[in-house]
């Protein structure tokens, strides 16, 4: 029999795979068996799927700006004859498994096995991910593909096959949701912030160039589809218009995604979210204190080295009495050289600090200017600032192995924060686009906090109290056996593993969906020739359920204007969520909020 070596990595992967499969299955099962209100956009995606499958799903003018990957995958199921909303719930739900496992590998590039597992569990159990998984939306599939892409690009650069595959997955992430295009900037920052960028610029340029070719080739079929059907590249106009228009108050503009963090983490149980945030803030304070202390220590070490070299010269003078005159001459030259070098050191040491201060101001400014400028200008300003910041940081902490990784994650977070802060419409699900770097920030500072607890434990065990008191020997042994580097992450993992139980207890049933489906069944019985009639609605549900082109129109204006519009379109039926009277149209049936008006001439 073959003996399997059960390493920590294998055990973590088996556990994460099993956990993500179970959670994914439960979410898909609940969503498919419950009439829950996924949100209106999903029915546009279903109509897009019908169009890819060769059916008339209607709403053509609304479909062009939509990302094509999920509707295309769903259309393959439709082509096999399984037409229903369940298929899109299953497809989007399965990406959850990919995201959990990929997040483990992405964090493993930076952290040990336990902290990486913690990061994957946080991704799996954050409320926003559980809520948006398997509901037909694009956000979770897109971020899962982007996580896998960044792992392959950052972790497999020496393996050309997997490295370029990362750009393929990045392209698929873009096709899953167009906002993932910004990940290209994150990739550029990853390479430009490398400490050896000057020495290996040609190598990195070559790799990124061929990677972008792989990206373009992957997206090419979609653009051929647009060209063949004479459709515009609508997402470019959408991106151009992003953020234009009246903005809300400054508080909601700048702080929306900051104040929503506890709800993003776990809205059903905010105490759990606040507990995690407190640990992260403690780790952040410790990290800032250590960084400032390191800068001071470097200055003291430099001064100490200069003093030490002068003492060594004096000792040499005493031991070599026969060569005093020569040594004095040499000492004068050495001291001049040392003074010159010391001055140069101070100049070089100040310049990186100046860059850090300047770039920090520019980074903050890029965020504050989102209320004034379009996102492309603020993101460009941030791009320049983060490159300057990385240069300064590499000069100060040249021996650190993880500066490049840390800066890349920070850039990922800030680029999307700027982008979605600029957007007028703000919703929690947009947070998913920069959730991985948020989780990175969490586990980074949790790791620092747990290490500091271990340091405090060591100091406590060496204290006079424990060394002299015989009564406290047992307590000393108990404390010495605690490893906070493992205890703290394990505690958080256990708490978040329990959290999905609360989520699954939430009743997701929505009577509005029942009303919509009842309306469709009733209309088919009431008018078997409904496919030959003109139907207008203020919701996109009915085009999918009736499998015909339904004109779309929100109810605006007074009764007469509405009546004139409907008659001009020769509309027989108008299905709306508004029960107000319409001239020449009779309310013939109502299910809850859903009303059916029929032309009564």
pLDDT band at 563; cut points 50, 70, 90: confident
Residue 484 in this model has a pLDDT that exceeds 90: no
CA 180 to chain centre: 10
Identify whether 278 is part of a domain.
Answer: no
pLDDT score, position 492: 95
Q: Kindly state whether residues 557 and 464 are assigned to the same domain.
A: no
pLDDT score, position 99: 96
Identify whether 327 is part of a domain.
Answer: no
Closest residue by Cα to residue 38 from 539, 419, 576: 539
* pLDDT tens digits along 382-433: 999 999 998 888 887 666 678 899 999 999 999 999 998 888 778 899 999 9
Q: What is the CA radius of gyration of the chain?
A: 31
Contacts of 288 (CB under 8 A, 6+ apart): none
The answer to whether the CB of 582 falls within 8 A of the CB of 559 is yes
pLDDT score, position 300: 54
Report the percent of the chain where pLDDT is more than 70.
81
Identify whether 284 is part of a domain.
Answer: no
CA 529 to chain centre: 48
pLDDT score, position 27: 93
Report the percent of the chain where pLDDT is more than 90.
42
Identify whether 105 is part of a domain.
Answer: yes
Q: What value does the mean pLDDT take over residues 523-542?
A: 88
- Alpha-carbon distance of 43 to 57, in angstroms, equals 10
* pLDDT tens digits along 420-473: 888 877 889 999 999 999 999 999 999 999 999 888 877 776 765 555 555 566
Angle between helices 86-108 and 113-125 (to 10 degrees): 160
3-state class percentages of the chain: helix first, strand second, coil last, to nearest 5: 75, 5, 20
Average pLDDT, the chain: 83
Q: What value does the mean pLDDT take over residues 521-547?
A: 88
pLDDT score, position 410: 94
Q: Kindly state whether residues 483 and 547 are assigned to the same domain.
A: no
Q: What angle do CA 584, 587, 589 make, to 5 degrees?
A: 150
Q: Kindly state whether residues 93 and 62 are assigned to the same domain.
A: yes
Local structure of 295: helix, strand or coil? helix
Residue 98 in this model has a pLDDT that exceeds 90: yes
- Alpha-carbon distance of 535 to 519, in angstroms, equals 13
Per-residue DSSP letters for 237-288? Answer: HHHHHTT-S----HHHHHHHHHHTHHHHHHTT-HHHHHHHHHHHHHHHHHHH
Identify whether 286 is part of a domain.
Answer: no
Boundary (domain end) residue, out of 505, 537, 556: 505
Residue owning tokens 């606040």: 274
Q: Kindly state whether residues 28 and 136 are assigned to the same domain.
A: yes
Does 24 or 321 have the greater pLDDT score? Answer: 24
* pLDDT tens digits along 211-229: 999 999 999 999 998 888 8
Boundary (domain end) residue, out of 228, 250, 272: 250
pLDDT band at 509; cut points 50, 70, 90: confident
Element at 320 (helix H, strand E): none
pLDDT score, position 353: 81
Identify whether 336 is part of a domain.
Answer: no
Boundary (domain end) residue, out of 197, 226, 250: 250
Residue owning tokens 């399997």: 4
Most confident among 81-85, 228-232, 488-492, 501-505 (mean pLDDT): 488-492
Angle between helices 139-155 and 403-422 (to 10 degrees): 150
Does 511 or 122 have the greater pLDDT score? Answer: 122
Does 153 or 391 have the greater pLDDT score? Answer: 153
- Alpha-carbon distance of 251 to 263, in angstroms, equals 17
Q: Kindly state whether residues 493 and 519 are assigned to the same domain.
A: no
- Provide the domain count of the chain: 3
Q: Kindly state whether residues 447 and 574 are assigned to the same domain.
A: no
Q: Kindly state whether residues 496 and 409 are assigned to the same domain.
A: yes
* pLDDT tens digits along 313-369: 445 544 554 444 444 444 444 444 444 344 333 445 677 788 888 999 999 998 888
Closest residue by Cα to residue 517 from 544, 550, 552, 548: 544
Residue 112 in this model has a pLDDT that exceeds 90: yes
The CATH code of the domain that includes 544 is 3.40.190
Domain enclosing residue 548, as ranges: 511-599
* pLDDT tens digits along 267-298: 888 899 999 999 999 999 998 888 787 766 65
Dihedral in degrees, nearest 10, Cα atoms 328, 330, 333, 337: -120
Q: Kindly state whether residues 571 and 523 are assigned to the same domain.
A: yes
Element at 459 (helix H, strand E): helix 435-462
Q: Kindly state whether residues 34 and 136 are assigned to the same domain.
A: yes
pLDDT band at 525; cut points 50, 70, 90: very high
pLDDT score, position 405: 93
Identify whether 199 is part of a domain.
Answer: yes
Identify whether 181 is part of a domain.
Answer: yes
Beta strands in 452-561 (DSSP E): 535-537, 551-552
Q: Kindly state whether residues 219 and 91 are assigned to the same domain.
A: yes
Q: Kindly state whether residues 489 and 516 are assigned to the same domain.
A: no
- Alpha-carbon distance of 453 to 444, in angstroms, equals 15
Q: Kindly state whether residues 478 and 543 are assigned to the same domain.
A: no
Q: What value does the mean pLDDT take over residues 60-85?
A: 87
Backbone angles phi, psi at 53, to 5 degrees: -85, -5
């Amino acid at each position: 029999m073959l003996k399997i070596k059960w390493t920590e990595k294998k055990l973590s992967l088996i556990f994460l795979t099993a956990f993500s499969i179970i959670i994914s299955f439960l979410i898909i099962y609940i969503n498919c068996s419950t009439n829950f209100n996924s949100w209106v956009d999903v029915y546009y995606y279903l109509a897009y799927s019908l169009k890819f499958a060769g059916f008339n799903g209607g709403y053509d003018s609304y479909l062009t700006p939509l990302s094509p990957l999920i509707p295309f995958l769903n259309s393959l199921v439709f082509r096999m004859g399984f037409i229903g909303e369940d298929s899109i719930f299953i497809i989007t739900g399965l990406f959850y498994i990919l995201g959990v496992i990929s997040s483990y590998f992405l964090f493993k590039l930076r952290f040990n096995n336990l902290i990486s597992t913690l990061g994957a569990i946080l991704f799996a159990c954050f409320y926003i991910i559980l809520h948006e998984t398997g509901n037909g939306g694009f956000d979770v599939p897109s971020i899962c593909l982007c996580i896998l892409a960044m792992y392959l690009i950052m972790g497999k650069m020496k393996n050309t096959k997997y490295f370029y595959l990362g750009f393929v997955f990045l392209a698929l992430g873009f096709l899953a949701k167009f906002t993932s295009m910004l990940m290209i900037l994150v990739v550029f920052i990853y390479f430009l912030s490398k400490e050896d960028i000057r020495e290996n610029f040609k190598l990195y340029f070559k790799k990124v160039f061929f990677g972008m070719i792989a990206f373009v080739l992957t997206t090419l079929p979609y653009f051929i589809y647009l060209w063949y059907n004479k459709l515009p590249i609508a997402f470019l106009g959408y991106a151009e218009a992003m953020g234009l228009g009246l903005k809300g108050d400054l508080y909601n503009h700048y702080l929306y995604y900051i104040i929503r963090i506890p709800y993003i983490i776990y809205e059903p149980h905010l105490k759990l979210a606040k507990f995690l945030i407190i640990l992260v803030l403690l780790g952040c304070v410790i990290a800032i204190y250590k960084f400032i202390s390191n800068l001071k220590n470097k200055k003291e070490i430099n001064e100490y080295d200069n003093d030490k070299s002068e003492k060594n010269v004096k000792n040499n003078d005493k031991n070599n009495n026969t060569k005093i005159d020569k040594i004095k001459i040499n000492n004068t030259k050495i001291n001049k050289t040392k003074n010159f070098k010391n001055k140069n050191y101070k100049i070089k040491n100040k310049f990186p600090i100046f860059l850090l201060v300047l770039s920090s101001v520019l980074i903050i400014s890029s965020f504050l200017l989102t209320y004034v400028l379009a996102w492309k200008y603020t993101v460009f300003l941030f791009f320049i600032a983060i490159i300057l910041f990385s240069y300064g940081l590499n000069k100060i902490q040249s021996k650190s192995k993880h500066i490049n990784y840390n800066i890349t994650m920070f850039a990922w977070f800030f680029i999307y924060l700027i982008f979605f802060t600029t957007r007028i419409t703000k919703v929690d699900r947009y947070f998913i686009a920069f959730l991985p770097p948020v989780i990175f920030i969490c586990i980074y500072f949790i790791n620092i906090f747990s290490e500091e607890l271990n340091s405090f434990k060591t100091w406590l065990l060496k204290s006079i109290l424990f060394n002299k008191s015989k009564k406290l020997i047992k307590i000393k042994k108990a404390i010495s056996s605690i490893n906070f580097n493992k205890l703290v992450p394990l505690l958080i993992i256990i708490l978040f593993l329990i959290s999905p139980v609360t989520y699954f207890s939430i009743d997701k049933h929505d009577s509005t969906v029942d009303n919509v489906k009842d309306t469709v069944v009733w209309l088919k019985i009431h008018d078997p020739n409904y496919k030959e009639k003109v139907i207008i609605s203020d919701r996109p549900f009915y085009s999918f359920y009736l499998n015909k082109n339904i004109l779309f129109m929100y109810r605006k204006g007074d009764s007469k204007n509405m009546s004139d519009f409907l008659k001009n379109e020769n509309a027989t039926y108008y299905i709306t969520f508004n029960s107000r009277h319409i001239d020449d149209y009779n309310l013939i049936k109502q299910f809850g909020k859903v009303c059916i008006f029929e032309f009564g001439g």
